[in-house]
Chains A and B, each alone.
Chain A
Amino acid sequence: MTSLILRTMVRLLLPLLLMFSVFLLLRGHNEPGGGFVGGLMAATGFALFSIAFGSETARRILRIDPLALIGVGLSLALLTGLITLGLNQPFLTGIWFKFPLGSFGKLELGTPLLFDLGVYLTVWGVTLTIVFALEEVK
């Protein structure tokens, strides 16, 4: 599993996959994509990396414990719902803000994006937790 070709490939692929996963997450509301696919894509990148370099290295590159990712993701999704609750609206109501960008049109940002980010982090964390755990079984 430690072939040079795989290692070189993975080293190139990981940043690409990560960037692509963020791209998928951000476009998800208007084009195919979203938190689920994005999270899986990011996790796949790290899964490949850990197969090539071992989970130790993968964990070091990731810096954050995947379990923490799960926690952050879930809390973020939950908080998104609580924000609207604080504004006296039903749980998880979407709130939108519009920023005009001159000739580029306008940028729409809303709480659903935050929610999707929560999904993204959770899926990423869960998948990596599983992959790392299975890999580290002695």
Chain B
Amino acid sequence: MLIVAVISGFGLAFLAPTICRFAKQKSGWWLAILPVFLTLYFLTLLPGLASGQIPALSYEWSKELGLTFAFRADGLSLAFALLVSGIGALVAIYASGYFGNKAPIGRFYLWLFFFMASMLGVVFSDNLILLFVFWELTSLSSFMLIGFEQEREEARAAAIQALLVTGSGGLVMLAGFVLLGQIGGTLELSALLLKGESVSTHPLYLAVLILILIGAFTKSAQVPFHFWLPNAMQAPTPVSTYLHAATMVKAGVYLLARLSLVLGGSSFWFWAVGGIGALTMILGGYLAFSQTDLKRYLAYSTISALGSLVMAIGIGSETALKAMVLFLLAHGLYKGTLFLVTGAIDHECKTRDVRELGGLWRSMPYNAAGSTLAALSMAGVPLFFGFVAKEYLYEAAYKVGAFWISLAIIGALLNVFIAFRVGIEPFWLPSQIEVKPSKHVHEAPWSMRIGPLILGGLSLLLGLFPQILGRSIVSSALTAALGRPVEVKLAAWHGVNDIFLLSLLTLGLGVGLFAVRQDLQRIAEKVSLRWGLDGLYKRSLDFLFTLAGFQTRTLQHGYLRYYLITIIVAVVAITAGGLWRWGGGTLPYLSWDIYFYELGIAVIIVLSAFMATLSRSRLGAVAALGVAGYGVASIYLLFGAPDLAMTQFLIESLTVVLFVLAFYHLPNFAQLTPKRERLRDVFIALITGGLMTIFVFVASGIQIHPTISPFFVENSLPLAHGRNIVNVILVDFRGLDTLGEITVLAIAGLGVFALLKLRLDLRTAKGKKSAEEIAKGGDQ
């Protein structure tokens, strides 16, 4: 069933364009059926997990390479999978309202479901290489979706940037995977997880860790690779919601959580993962200050949230991981809502500038409700799901030390600010800049309300009753991440303690910041910092293009004979090197036994070839070539190859005929190269010829592998009922080769036909006038 879940996603992706053609505006509702069904299916797997039943299956792919199609669905996988399929369903519905009939939605849904299937593949893969393949497929679909509005330059640039950053990170990660596989002796994740000890003490541990971290950090937009994510907001809002807030960017988080059992526990892990996570959390929040665009706010706050997730994994305690799983779900819910609402606002008001928006609750009540619930959850107001998650995050940081808890507070503080600016301000407060009230602002269609309402509602419901999750998904995800059974009891209310007071403090300070937002904005605009590797990315891309241009001009110069010289010199050098290493040895005894007519034929071949080379007339050259061919045929005849001789005689005659026929239409020989170049060519030719002579002497004397000829000789009559062994080889023993060969021959024949005849037919078919045009256009 698991594999069906993944494959059905790909199947739906390829069917989507056709379905869209028939279902038109309603296609989102129809297409959402599969993700809804998948969500329900994943939910049915949860009870089994508690009793230790983990669905898994594995098909062989390439045994020698350790590759298997292995899928496994433990708690951690399912936590992510539920997010992927659940939000996927809502986004699919939402998108048909968002795009209306303005965009090629068939293509959109194709890549959206392609992404969904790939992402499910990532979280269910139990083989590192398989995981990598799906991982890169998500990057690919992200590329296609960011660049969905392909006519816009910025969208294309952002798409390429995201692909290059996450794609190259993925390649680095692959190197890490391969090393990890070498160390652990298996590429199976579930088997690797049991080998934490032997991996963390291995000398290559640090290399593996750094390589894999780079992969995870690029995908999850951690400092210093975070710059691609705000740019990726060029994507249509449904895509930003789904890929760049709720799911794809969490793939790095998933990988870290998955591998923490093998790679975690060291102090390097703690500082690298925890430290980078904390830095990203704060920087993401800080960078949001100078923004005015709702979507960019959300992008930076997503970076910040990803930072806190990574930080929690870095801390790595049971509480921290519990906080990670809860925050992962909470963030998926509230950030998904806010993105969808932003899209609805953009759709209705045609702007995303927070300064121009205000008082929308009247015209868009449903979105206002969803948005408010999500914002309160994001701000960590008690009784909301975000609050529960934040409480655990604080608790985990609190246990590590004052430094970490203060970092966590700063991060959360910034998020309170963003939550109010994005989720509350546009609806409940008047706009900063007076814009003439747009008459047409009204609530978005139902397809665009259902997502915010469901996700926002869940943000409240799960905050009130967190134990719905605790028993099922959180405990099994923790069991998977920690490798030991964990019982989780979640409560909405922990009583008044230090942590709760800190939460209140955060909330108060955040609201305070929000109150002075206009002053803050003015300050932030003055000290706007450009952090990260955006500039380096641009410079290295420029350098790459320059380099590519240089090497293309140098190597791909277009002179055929210099290509040939390169090839010939390389072949000669390698062959000569091989002969040199073989060292001469003893040349085999070769008999001097020769008949005078044989010598005569040899002389004729050489002389006629020489004629073919020197002749100034084309006909002379071709005739000489033919004579040389007859000479070769005679040698075949004299040395027991009558089949070859016959074929060669006929082919030679036909070749001469072809050349003569073609010469009608081709120019005469011309002396084109200057003398110096001719001398150089003579030199190359002589060297090669000499080397080949030596090579033949050597080759006819040694037999490296046992010959397979006796098999054919002995079995020709008894097995294949044929006495002419050459023919038997051709039509029976190696019949498949011959089939291939006559196919090639047929293609050559069709090629000749196409080159010579099709244009002629075109001319006769198109009438005289257009024929002249074609002749003018095509033949100059």
Residues of A in contact with B (beta carbons under 8 Å apart): 24, 28-37, 40-41, 43-44, 47, 51, 67, 70, 73-74, 77-78, 81, 91-92, 94, 96, 108, 110, 112, 115-116, 118-119, 122-123, 125-127, 129-131, 133-138
Contact = CB atoms under 8 A, between A and B. Distances in A.
Contacts of A24: 646
A131 B658 contact: yes
Contact of A32 (B650, B724, B738, B746): B724
Nearest to B730: A34
Contacts of B722: 29-30, 112
Contact of B731 (A30, A35, A51, A73): A35
Contact of A31 (B650, B724, B739, B748): B724
Interface stretch (B136-144, B584-592, B751-759): B751-759
Contact of A126 (B646, B650, B651, B746): B746
A37 B650 contact: yes
A6 to B, nearest CB: 13
Contact of A137 (B728, B738, B756): B756
A29 B721 contact: yes
A36 B730 CA distance: 10
Given A37-B646, A41-B650, A126 B748 contact: yes
Given A94-B721, A94-B735, 16 more contacts: A24-B646, A30-B723, A33-B724, A34-B724, A34-B730, A40-B650, A44-B653, A44-B654, A77-B742, A92-B739, A108-B721, A123-B742, A126-B748, A129-B750, A134-B658, A134-B752
B484 interface: no
B727 interface: yes
A31 B753 contact: no
A70 B750 contact: yes
Contacts of B732: 92, 94, 112, 115
Given A29-B721, A37-B650, A116-B727, A135 B745 contact: no
19 contacts: A28-B731, A31-B724, A32-B642, A35-B730, A36-B730, A51-B657, A73-B742, A77-B738, A81-B736, A81-B739, A94-B721, A112-B728, A115-B735, A119-B738, A123-B745, A129-B752, A131-B654, A131-B657, A131-B661
A134 B731 contact: no
B749 interface: yes
Which bucket holds chain B's interface residue count? Answer: 35 or more
A96 B717 CA distance: 12
Contacts of B760: 136-138
A67 B753 contact: yes
Contacts of A129: 749-750, 752-753
Contacts of B651: 40
Given A67-B753, A119-B738, A126 B643 contact: no
B647 interface: yes
B538 to A, nearest CB: 54
Contacts of B752: 129-130, 133-134
Interface string B544-585: 000000000000000000000000000000000000000000
A81 to B, nearest CB: 7
B753 A112 contact: no
Instruction: Tell which of A77, A130, A136 has the most Cβ of chain B within 10 Å.
Output: A130
Contact of A33 (B643, B665, B746, B753): B643
Contacts of A116: 727, 731
A101 B586 CA distance: 57
Contacts of B739: 77-78, 81, 92, 115
A127 to B, nearest CB: 6
A96 B721 CA distance: 8
Contacts of A130: 658, 748-749, 752-753
Contacts of A77: 738-739, 742
User: How would you classify the secondary structure of chain A's contact residues: helix, strand, loop or mixed?
Assistant: helix
B141 to A, nearest CB: 39
Interface of B: 642-643, 646-647, 650-651, 653-654, 657-658, 661-662, 664-665, 720-724, 726-728, 730-732, 735-736, 738-739, 742-743, 745-746, 748-750, 752-753, 756-757, 760
Nearest to B659: A134
Contacts of B736: 81, 91-92
Contacts of A32: 642-643, 646, 724
Contact of B742 (A74, A81, A91): A74
Contacts of A138: 760
The listed residue with most A CB atoms (<10 A of its CB), out of B722, B735, B748, is B735
A30 B736 CA distance: 20
Contacts of B664: 137
A131 B377 CA distance: 81
B723 A31 contact: yes
A135 B727 contact: no
Contacts of A29: 721-724, 727-728, 731
Contacts of A96: 721
Contacts of B662: 134
Contacts of A51: 657
B618 to A, nearest CB: 15
B745 A37 contact: no
A67 B758 CA distance: 13
Contacts of B643: 32-34, 36-37
A34 B730 CA distance: 9
Nearest to B651: A40
A38 B735 CA distance: 17
A112 B727 CA distance: 10
A74 B743 contact: yes
Given A44-B650, A73-B742, A133-B757, A33 B721 contact: no
Query: Which of A29, A96, A110 has most B Cβ within 10 Å?
Result: A29
Contacts of B730: 34-36, 119
Nearest to B752: A130
Given A37-B647, A40-B651, A134-B756, A112 B735 contact: yes
Nearest to B645: A32
A44 B657 CA distance: 10
Nearest to A113: B731
The 4 closest A-B pairs by CB, nearest first: A126-B749, A32-B642, A30-B723, A40-B650
A112 B646 contact: no
Given A34-B727, A133-B753, A47 B721 contact: no
Nearest to A138: B760
Contacts of A137: 661, 664-665, 756, 760
Contacts of B748: 126, 130
A26 to B, nearest CB: 11
A30 B717 CA distance: 9
Contacts of B650: 37, 40-41, 44
Given A44-B653, A77-B739, A108-B721, A36 B647 contact: yes
Nearest to A71: B746
A92 B651 CA distance: 27
Nearest to A125: B749
A73 B742 CA distance: 9
A96 B719 CA distance: 10
Nearest to B760: A138
